[in-house]
């Protein structure tokens, strides 16, 4: 067992962890942050995407011990619930989710995509989200959501309020 | 007196979804999120063999591993080894071999359950699987349907002495007479390949004895909590009244969670036996072999016509792969397609035969469209082939043969009566959105110049039968359940409304749409209405969600229950306002005395009177609620025209979708935003069948596409945006005028894509391309056509 300390959504968690344990399993099983989900076992689906020190990672491809000393942001920490993140607002407004299972990963990947490229074209959005699979929407409204989120974010922080 | 639908209400508006807030904040309740104290986790030892005798199975080693609580093979499990049920014995002489949850003596598919370990953590349970001693004696695997039916084939089930599960025939009219009269007969064999539903949330089930009673609560990632409760009671022998089934947040299904799975049976029985919560969540790799698959038919189709394009008759002969066992409606899926091969076309005769075939593969069952995508694919492909054969423009051939809007209601050669439709209007709109003539001109230019990148235009003019279903029809087809739906509407004393539905959403947005229907009748704002669903403890009656039935059937129950509630409220309001019920009009949620605007009572006030019951009219019981259980009069028949334009690189085989236009007629729309989303998702899945997906097995029966690294579901980068439009021809057999929409896109889009690829390459001698039409497949098809032409 290894001892790790990780800040998740603003709260510091410490504990013993098996070296083989994946970050996503640690988040879900050890500290109860179950908003982040598992969709596959080959790192293809991206449902488990979180921000690790501000950049998106598939939390199934990071060991919990590798996250020691890091800051993790999950879908549960993106906003405080009263004020929505513009990406969350955009996904609701554009019907960018149906069953919602890919949504945590899709939203976190979008946050990272827009931080790198604040005004992506449709093609850049499609390629930027290539690592996140959705089975419900056919991606049409996800692409619209990302584009709309970019508009909201360029218009200033208060536009994201919902 | 019934409450009229007020068109100036929430109905028909693209209201943003109530469901989204919790899903967008990770405040979700997926089954795998449930962590009850004392839970033991189940891990499953699955067969790596497609067909083998189990020569040794010893689970005792697993019991010595850390954290292990119990381990069972079929022998140790004994009578708790329940059988997976099939509720659709399609013929009197159908062969229905046993399907025990844990394999007994033999395994018949890769992924068959052989033994289970229960431990205090998932990791401990999985680790302990290695300590189970098991050995197999390999038997020849049955993987090819045609070979399976030859004498001397190995048998999937020895005791039934054949691999033929059933033969179903439906002769309509005299096809041989039509054929004799025909100038042209075109025959093709299409392979409708095996697909894996691949919903994003893997299956998960938790069962817990609740301690204070005999109740066992089962949380399952299922589409059918109500049906599952009945089936689990029958399979496990636990009294139905002691079972409560809850489908919490469910992450997609597409038919794949319309099932009573062996893992659900095992978890339920073991929770009862061990007296503590038992949990199992599948890995994606387990999902690929152990969740039922879809499609997998060999379709021989023959169309007889005159030389000027009048269709006379159609003959369809199917081999339908059942896989190794029959699950909930495995045998019936091809029959849902049976009625739809004649589609929108008029003809004199239709001859249908389907043989269900056992093979050593994962069982098939419902996958988005269930039988109708297969039918639509075959008919829309053969129509294009007939057009090519007689040298007719493919859309003109369709127009010549389709049912015109004046001819509805129309009884088809297959015996269905389509209530309404307007194929002309949908097609005209689609052609205009698509710029059909402009694209045909570009196609001609590319042909003339010998452009290595050719343009293909694919057409699919489809209809489908959905809204499962009139109970009497299901009974006639030997389906062992009804097709009704239930709703209870309660007006609470504080003015809030509860709509209790028997439908069970897993992404469709029922909470929003059902609120809109109730709001339009009760005059109560959408936000004051709560939709209660997917829990047999809170919504005791229902037939759940599949077959595009939830709005088409469940919507009717919401309408009827809401109207009944208004009528009860009217009696109370009349008593309060000291007038006769007939003198009241109900507008925007309040009763008004006609001619006296000062006298009125809001529904919420009536609900409070019904709660206190201090001053109710004689004969009226306290509380304000009403219920309705509605059996639909008929199926609903959505239709539409889908057009696809694609560039096909004749040098690389690459297909690039350039434009996708669809105009769907799903009748009255409760929420057009949700309708459009359903069409997008369905179209994407249909395109995926045409271009990307296919469950591939080797000759030993190993699934080669057993992970998301090998089974290609499209990403955002693989698909275009879609141009969607609608026409609205209300259904007359459904009181709301609605039809279903959940499956329409998946039914329509596959043939549009393949027709387009063939259209791009027909001048090279190509008249078919196999699915999925990967660059390699397309390139090889071109090379074969070129070689054949020499």
In this prediction the ipTM stands at 0.97
Among the listed residues B326, B325, B317, B323, the one whose alpha carbon sits nearest the alpha carbon of residue B355: B317
The answer to whether B721 contacts A45, with C-beta atoms less than 8 Å apart, is no
How many angstroms separate the CA of residue B445 from the nearest CA in chain A? 28
Residues of chain B above pLDDT 90, percent: 97
Q: Report yes or no: A130 at the B interface, CB cutoff 8 Å.
A: yes
pLDDT tens digits, B280-326: 999 999 999 999 999 999 999 999 999 999 999 999 999 999 999 99
Distance of CA B668 to the CA centre of its chain: 21
Chain B CB contacts of A42 under 8 Å are 284-285, 707-709
Instruction: Give me the pLDDT at residue B790, please.
Output: 62
Peptide bond into B772 cis (omega under 30): yes
pLDDT tens digits, B243-257: 999 999 999 999 999
The answer to whether A101 contacts B200, with C-beta atoms less than 8 Å apart, is yes
Residues A139, B684: contact at Cβ < 8 Å? yes
Instruction: Give me the pLDDT at residue A162, please.
Output: 47
Q: Which residue of A has its CA nearest to B512?
A: A98
Q: Angle at the Cα of B694 (from B690 to B698), degrees rounded to 5?
A: 145
Q: Which residue of B has its CA nearest to A40?
A: B284
Instruction: Give me the pLDDT at residue A158, please.
Output: 52
Asked if pLDDT for residue B213 goes beyond 90, the answer is no
Residues of chain B above pLDDT 70, percent: 99
Instruction: Give me the pLDDT at residue B597, please.
Output: 84
Instruction: Give me the pLDDT at residue B215, please.
Output: 95
On the 0-12 / 13-18 / 19+ scale of CB atoms within 10 A, B379 is: buried
The answer to whether A95 contacts B674, with C-beta atoms less than 8 Å apart, is yes
pLDDT tens digits, B634-649: 999 999 999 999 999 9
Asked if pLDDT for residue B459 goes beyond 70, the answer is yes
Among the listed residues A22, A109, A13, A29, the one whose alpha carbon sits nearest the alpha carbon of residue A66: A22
pLDDT tens digits, B80-108: 999 999 999 999 999 999 999 999 999 99
In the beta sheet, which residues pair with residue B456? B646
User: Helices (H) and strands (E) in chain A — how many of each?
Assistant: 5, 5
Asked if pLDDT for residue B730 goes beyond 70, the answer is yes
HSE-up (13 A, CA, CB side) for residue B253: 30
pLDDT band at residue B788 using 50, 70 and 90 as cut-offs:
confident
Contacts of B387 (CB under 8 A, 6+ apart): B309, B393, B394, B396, B397
Asked if pLDDT for residue B384 goes beyond 90, the answer is yes
pLDDT tens digits, B665-699: 999 999 999 999 999 999 999 999 999 999 999 99
Instruction: Give me the pLDDT at residue B1, please.
Output: 36
pLDDT band at residue B2 using 50, 70 and 90 as cut-offs:
very low
Instruction: Give me the pLDDT at residue B210, please.
Output: 85
pTM of the model: 0.97
Question: What is the overall mean pLDDT for chain B?
Answer: 97
pLDDT band at residue B196 using 50, 70 and 90 as cut-offs:
very high
Averaged over successive runs of 10 residues, the pLDDT of chain A (162 residues) comes to: 97 97 97 98 98 98 98 96 93 98 98 98 98 98 98 75 46
Of B26, B199, B673, the CB nearest to A75: B26
Mean of the pLDDT values across residues B578-592?
96
Helices B225-236, B262-274: axis angle to 10 degrees equals 60
Instruction: Give me the pLDDT at residue B56, please.
Output: 98
> Within 10 A of B37 (CB to CB), how many other CB atoms are there?
7
> Within 10 A of B667 (CB to CB), how many other CB atoms are there?
30
Q: How far apart are CA A41 and CA A48, in angstroms?
A: 11
pLDDT tens digits, B335-359: 999 999 999 999 999 999 999 999 9
Instruction: Give me the pLDDT at residue B366, please.
Output: 98
Mean of the pLDDT values across residues B406-429?
98
Peptide bond into B73 cis (omega under 30): no
Contacts of B353 (CB under 8 A, 6+ apart): B167, B168, B169, B170, B316, B317, B318
Among the listed residues B694, B768, B691, B709, the one whose alpha carbon sits nearest the alpha carbon of residue B380: B768
Q: Specify the DSSP element, H or E, that contains B670.
A: none
Q: Which two tokens mark B755? A: 């027709």
Chain B CB contacts of A35 under 8 Å are 25-28
pLDDT tens digits, B464-506: 999 888 999 999 999 999 999 999 999 999 999 999 999 999 9
The answer to whether A99 contacts B680, with C-beta atoms less than 8 Å apart, is no
On the 0-12 / 13-18 / 19+ scale of CB atoms within 10 A, B594 is: exposed
Residues B694, B361: contact at Cβ < 8 Å? no
Among the listed residues B584, B626, B621, the one whose alpha carbon sits nearest the alpha carbon of residue B497: B626
In the beta sheet, which residues pair with residue B661? B643, B723
Of A79, A100, A137, the CB nearest to B28: A100
Q: Which residue of B has its CA nearest to A131?
A: B715
How many angstroms separate the CA of residue B37 from the nearest CA in chain A? 13
Q: Report yes or no: A122 at the B interface, CB cutoff 8 Å.
A: yes
Instruction: Give me the pLDDT at residue A160, please.
Output: 45
Q: What is the DSSP letter of B540?
A: -
Asked if pLDDT for residue B8 goes beyond 70, the answer is no
Chain B CB contacts of A108 under 8 Å are none
Of B19, B201, B708, the CB nearest to A44: B708
Rg (Cα) of chain A, in Å, rounded?
16
Chain B CB contacts of A75 under 8 Å are 24-26
Q: How far apart are CA B35 and CA A144, in angstroms?
A: 36
The answer to whether A132 contacts B716, with C-beta atoms less than 8 Å apart, is yes
């Amino acid at each position: 067992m290894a001892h790790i300390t990780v800040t998740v959504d603003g709260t510091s968690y410490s504990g013993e962890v098996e070296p083989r344990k994946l970050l996503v399993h640690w988040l879900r099983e050890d500290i109860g942050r179950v908003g982040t989900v598992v969709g596959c076992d080959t790192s293809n689906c991206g449902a488990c995407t979180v921000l690790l020190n501000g950049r998106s990672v598939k939390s199934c491809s990071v060991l919990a011990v590798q996250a020691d000393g890091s800051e993790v942001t999950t879908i549960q920490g993106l906003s405080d619930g009263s004020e929505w993140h513009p990406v969350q607002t955009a996904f609701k407004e554009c019907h960018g989710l149906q069953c919602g299972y890919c949504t945590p990963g899709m939203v976190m990947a979008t946050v990272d995509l827009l931080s790198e490229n604040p005004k992506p074209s449709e093609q850049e959005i499609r390629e930027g989200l290539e690592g996140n699979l959705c089975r419900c929407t056919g991606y049409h409204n996800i692409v619209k959501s990302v584009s709309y989120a970019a508009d909201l974010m360029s218009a200033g922080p208060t536009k994201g309020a919902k | 007196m019934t409450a009229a639908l007020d068109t100036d209400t929430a109905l028909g508006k693209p209201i943003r979804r109530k469901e989204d807030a919790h899903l967008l904040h990770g405040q979700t309740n997926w089954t795998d999120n449930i962590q009850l104290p004392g839970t033991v986790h189940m891990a499953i030892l699955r067969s790596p063999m497609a067909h083998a005798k189990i020569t040794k199975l010893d689970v005792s080693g697993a019991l010595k591993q850390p954290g292990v609580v119990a381990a069972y093979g079929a022998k140790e499990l004994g009578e708790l080894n329940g059988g997976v049920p099939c509720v659709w014995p399609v013929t009197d002489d159908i062969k229905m071999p046993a399907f025990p949850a844990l394999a007994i003596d033999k395994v018949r598919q890769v992924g068959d359950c052989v033994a289970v370990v229960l431990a205090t953590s998932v990791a401990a349970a999985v680790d302990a699987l290695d300590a189970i001693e098991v050995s197999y004696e390999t038997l020849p695997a049955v993987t090819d349907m045609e070979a399976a039916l030859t004498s001397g084939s190995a048998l999937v089930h020895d005791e039934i002495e054949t691999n033929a599960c059933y033969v179903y025939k439906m002769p309509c009219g005299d096809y041989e007479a039509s054929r004799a009269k025909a100038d042209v007969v075109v025959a093709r064999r299409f392979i409708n390949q095996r697909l894996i539903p691949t919903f994003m949330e893997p299956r998960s089930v938790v069962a817990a004895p609740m301690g204070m009673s005999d109740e066992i609560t089962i949380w399952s990632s299922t589409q059918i909590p109500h049906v599952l409760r009945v089936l689990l009671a029958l399979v496990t022998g636990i009294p139905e009244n002691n079972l409560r089934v809850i489908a919490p947040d469910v992450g997609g299904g597409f038919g794949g969670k319309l099932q009573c799975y062996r893992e659900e049976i095992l978890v339920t029985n073991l929770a009862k036996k061990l007296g503590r919560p038992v949990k199992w969540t599948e890995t994606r790799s387990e999902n690929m072999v152990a969740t039922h698959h879809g499609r997998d038919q060999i379709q021989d189709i023959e169309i007889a016509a005159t030389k000027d394009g009048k269709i006379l008759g159609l003959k369809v002969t199917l081999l339908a792969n059942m896989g190794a066992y029959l699950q909930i409606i495995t045998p019936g899926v091809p029959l849902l397609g049976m009625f739809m091969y004649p589609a929108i076309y008029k003809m004199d005769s239709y001859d249908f035969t389907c043989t269900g075939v056992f093979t050593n593969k994962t069982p098939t069952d419902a996958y988005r469209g269930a039988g109708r995508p297969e039918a639509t694919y075959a008919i829309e492909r053969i129509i294009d082939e007939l057009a090519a054969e007689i040298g007719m423009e493919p859309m003109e051939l369709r127009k010549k043969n389709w049912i015109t809007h004046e001819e509805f209601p129309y009884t088809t050669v297959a015996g269905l009566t389509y209530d309404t439709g307007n194929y002309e209007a949908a097609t005209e709109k689609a052609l205009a959105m698509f710029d059909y003539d402009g694209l045909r001109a570009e196609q001609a230019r590319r042909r003339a110049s010998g452009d290595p990148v050719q343009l293909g235009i694919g057409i699919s003019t489809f209809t489908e039968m959905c809204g499962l279903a009139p109970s009497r029809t299901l009974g006639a087809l030997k389906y062992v359940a009804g097709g009704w739906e239930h709703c209870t509407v309660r007006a609470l004393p504080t003015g809030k409304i509860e709509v209790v539905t028997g439908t069970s959403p897993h992404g469709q947005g029922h909470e929003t749409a059902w609120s809109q229907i109730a709001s339009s009748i009760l005059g109560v704002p959408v936000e004051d209405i709560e939709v209660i669903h997917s829990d047999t403890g809170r919504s005791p009656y229902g037939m759940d969600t599949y077959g595009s039935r939830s709005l088409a059937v469940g919507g009717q129950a919401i309408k009827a229950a809401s109207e009944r509630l208004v009528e009860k409220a009217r009696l109370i309001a009349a008593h309060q306002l000291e007038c006769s019920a007939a003198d009241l009009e109900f507008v925007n949620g309040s009763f008004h005395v006609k001619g006296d605007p000062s006298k009125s009572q809001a529904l919420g006030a009536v609900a409070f009177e019904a709660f206190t019951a201090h001053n109710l009219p004689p004969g009226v019981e306290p509380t304000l609620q009403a219920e309705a259980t509605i059996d639909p009069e008929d199926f609903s028949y959505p239709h539409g025209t889908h057009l696809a334009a694609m560039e096909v690189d004749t040098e690389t085989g690459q297909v690039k979708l350039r434009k996708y236009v669809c105009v769907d007629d799903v009748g009255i729309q409760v929420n057009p935003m949700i309708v459009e989303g359903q069409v997008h998702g369905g179209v994407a899945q249909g395109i995926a069948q045409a271009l990307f997906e296919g469950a591939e097995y080797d000759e030993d029966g190993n699934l080669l596409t057993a992970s998301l690294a090998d089974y290609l579901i499209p990403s955002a980068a693989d698909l275009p945006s879609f141009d969607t439009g609608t026409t609205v021809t209300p259904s007359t057999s459904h009181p709301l005028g609605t039809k279903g929409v959940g499956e329409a896109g998946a039914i329509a889009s596959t043939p549009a894509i393949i027709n387009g690829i063939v259209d791009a390459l027909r001048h090279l001698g190509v008249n078919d391309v196999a699915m999925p039409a990967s660059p390699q497949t397309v390139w090889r098809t071109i090379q074969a056509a070129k070689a054949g032409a020499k």
